[in-house]
Amino acid sequence: MKYLLRIIAAAALAGLAPAAASGQAAPPAPAPAASGIAPAPGGAAPTATAPGGAQPQDVAGPDSGGERPSDSQVAQSTAASQATPDPGIGQPDGGWHLQEQFSPIGEEAAWFHNYILMPAITIISLFVLFLLLWVIVRYRRRANPTPTRTTHNTLLEVVWTLVPVIILVLIAVPSIRLLANQYDPPRADLTIKAIGNQWYWEYEYPDHGVSFVSNILSDEDARRRGEPRLLAVDHRVVVPQGATVKMIVTSNDVVHSWGIPSFWAKIDAVPGRLNETWFRADRPGLYYGQCFELCGARHAYMPIAVEVVTPAQFAAWVGARGGQMPGARPAAPAAAGSAPAGAAPATTAPPATPGAITNSQGGSQ
């Protein structure tokens, strides 16, 4: 037994003993990376990369150590005209008033607010304040040592019943009309699907074959492009001027809210549900919004930017993004047997003129 113990001790000193006997665990060999799975450093469990590999979980913001859009991403902005915002247009200006409206619904809502609600609220507030002061002064103990015993006043009761009813009717008529116009939209010229994520937006143009992810820009990149901090994004939503835009909004994780104050458009993005709103912008320019629901730690860093351009600029933007305008005629396929398999396709036919009849060779008559 002595000799056996000596042999084991000598083997341990020489490093020939098993790893378990020496108390040192051998580091495991890294597992081969599967498709879309990247091995973590230090032998940690592999983590799945985001779809497409382009969208980080955390978007860089002020005082954040996360990734931020690179200069190449900024340079490759999908803005159709590289427009810069006009001061005080489409963004907060620090005032107490509503943002200037640039959609029919927004103009109607601003009129309702400025000429119905605010005057009614002001008059009612001043009237109630006057009544309070009058009662305090007129019926104080020194001026009125013997309190009145009046218990009923028919005229007064009729007045304080009818006046609130008349006020509610005056408010209800334009309010119901505004709600009807807001939730009964006209026929859409363009449909966009917005998908909220923690913490960025995805956009799809189902009729045009365009989709992209929109992230906040860092303060430095926003300053370089002349845009406001915390509102600028790398990829903007682009819509044509004067088009009725239907927004279909949903979420992949928690409740978000998509909205542009200058269009009077705001709708919640609820997981598993499709909500709908609409707007029509009649003035080209750049308009900003943000998520209006408290969706988590990075809630303040998922803004929205909508660029309104001319129809020609919008069509060019769709083509640059690899999409196609609805109704555009796709290139005619090559005739069967006209080229060997694997050969380069022949030149595509020129765009057809309105009313042209296409023959089997792709030409027009």
Q: What is the mean pLDDT of each run of 10 residues along the chain (365 residues)?
A: 56 45 40 37 38 40 45 47 74 81 90 92 95 90 82 88 92 91 88 94 94 92 89 92 94 94 92 93 91 92 93 91 79 47 41 38 39
113 and 209 both lie in a single domain: no
Question: What pTM was computed for the model?
Answer: 0.62
Number of domains in the chain: 2
35 within a domain of the structure (yes/no): no
350 within a domain of the structure (yes/no): no
Q: Residue 304: enclosing H or E segment and its boundaries? A: strand 304-309
Q: Rg of the Cα trace of the chain?
A: 33
Q: For 133-174, what is each residue's pLDDT tens digit?
A: 999 998 888 888 888 787 888 898 999 999 999 999 989 999
Could you list the residue range(s) of the whole structural domain that residue 216 is in?
A: 190-320
What's the CA gap between 341 and 88, in Å, rounded? 59
150 within a domain of the structure (yes/no): no
Q: Tell me, what's the pLDDT at 3?
A: 60
Distances (CA, A) of 9 to 2, 3, 15: 11, 10, 10
Q: Tell me, what's the pLDDT at 8?
A: 55
Distances (CA, A) of 64 to 197, 290, 307: 18, 19, 27
Q: Tell me, what's the pLDDT at 81?
A: 56
256 and 232 both lie in a single domain: yes
209 within a domain of the structure (yes/no): yes
The two three-digit tokens of residue 237, written as one number:
């939503």
285 and 167 both lie in a single domain: no
The two three-digit tokens of residue 176, written as one number:
């119901």
Q: What is the DSSP string of 226-292?
A: T--TTT-BSS-EEEETT--EEEEEEESSS-EEEEEGGGTEEEEE-BT--EEEEE---S-EEEEEEE-
298 and 252 both lie in a single domain: yes
228 and 108 both lie in a single domain: no
123 and 194 both lie in a single domain: no
311 and 196 both lie in a single domain: yes
128 and 198 both lie in a single domain: no
Q: Residues 6 or more apart from 205 whose CB is under 8 A from it?
A: 190, 191, 192, 193, 211, 318, 323
CATH of the domain at 308: 2.60.40.420
329 within a domain of the structure (yes/no): no
Q: Residue 72: enclosing H or E segment and its boundaries? A: helix 71-75
167 and 274 both lie in a single domain: no
173 and 287 both lie in a single domain: no
29 within a domain of the structure (yes/no): no
131 and 199 both lie in a single domain: no
The two three-digit tokens of residue 134, written as one number:
């009058």
218 within a domain of the structure (yes/no): yes
165 and 201 both lie in a single domain: no
CA-CA-CA-CA torsion sign (110, 115, 120, 126) = positive
